[in-house]
Amino acid sequence: MRYSLFDSPIGQLVLSGEDQTLTGIAFADSTKAPEIDSSWSRDQTAFAEVARQLRAYFAGELSQFVLQLAPRGTPFQRRVWEALRMIPYGSTTTYGKLAEALGDPRATRAVGLANGRNPISIVIPCHRVIGADGSLTGYGGGMPRKQWLLAHESRTAHLF
């Protein structure tokens, strides 16, 4: 496993994966950040394309990531994460609407749990999911970051 660090406007990110395939993006100071052990190799060039696209995203110049992703999870989690990638930039949806889109309106709680286990923050935009009443709900990177990401996308969505 290789990893690199990326300084973003909302905190340092840990990018991880194998070869050129991204398996994780986590906030370095989050409880969900991966445990970097001695078997991992730090390589600041390993995810140069990921870093380039993240820089463009944060600069308001990119609305859709085109990267090789391999999030690790159950088949249901991977379906949810793929559905998250379909939420348009600058938009939000609810857990209930995601469950309906996946064909099971009763799976709202399961969708929420899968959303919370998203291993590739920002690129798989779990921050775009809000409560049924329109309120902001939990985010592994913390609510201030979720608010920042949604505000950033709202400010720049007209550019695309």
CATH number at residue 30: 3.30.160.70
* pLDDT 10s digits, 136-156: 988 989 999 999 999 999 999
Spatial separation of the C-alpha atoms in residues 22 and 3, rounded to whole Å:
9
Question: Do 95 and 128 reside in the same domain of the chain?
Answer: yes
Q: What is the DSSP letter of 86?
A: T
What's the whole-number mean pLDDT along residues 38-53? 94
Sheet holding 11-18, edge to edge: 21-27, 11-18, 2-8, 41-42
83 has a pLDDT exceeding 90:
yes
Domain assignment present for 64: no
Q: What is the pLDDT of residue 160?
A: 85
pLDDT, position 21: 94
pLDDT at 103: 96
Q: Is residue 48 part of a domain?
A: yes
The mean per-residue pLDDT over the stretch 96-100 comes to 97
The mean pLDDT of the chain is 95
Asked if residue 25 has pLDDT above 90, the reply is: yes
Over its C-alpha atoms, the chain yields an Rg (Å, rounded) of 15
Q: Look at residue 34 in the predicted model and tell me its pLDDT.
A: 84
Instruction: Let me know: does 30 contact 142? Beta carbons within 8 Å.
Output: yes
Range(s) of the domain holding residue 36 = 2-58
pLDDT of residue 72: 95
Query: Do 147 and 118 have their domain in common?
Result: yes
Q: Do both 151 and 97 map to the same domain?
A: yes
Up-side HSE of residue 127: CA atoms within 13 Å toward CB? 23
pTM of the predicted model as reported, rounded to 2 decimal places: 0.95
Is the pLDDT at 48 greater than 90? The verdict is yes
Catalytic residues: 126
Task: Let me know if residue 68 belongs to a domain.
Answer: no
**Domain assignment present for 118:** yes
pLDDT of residue 87: 97
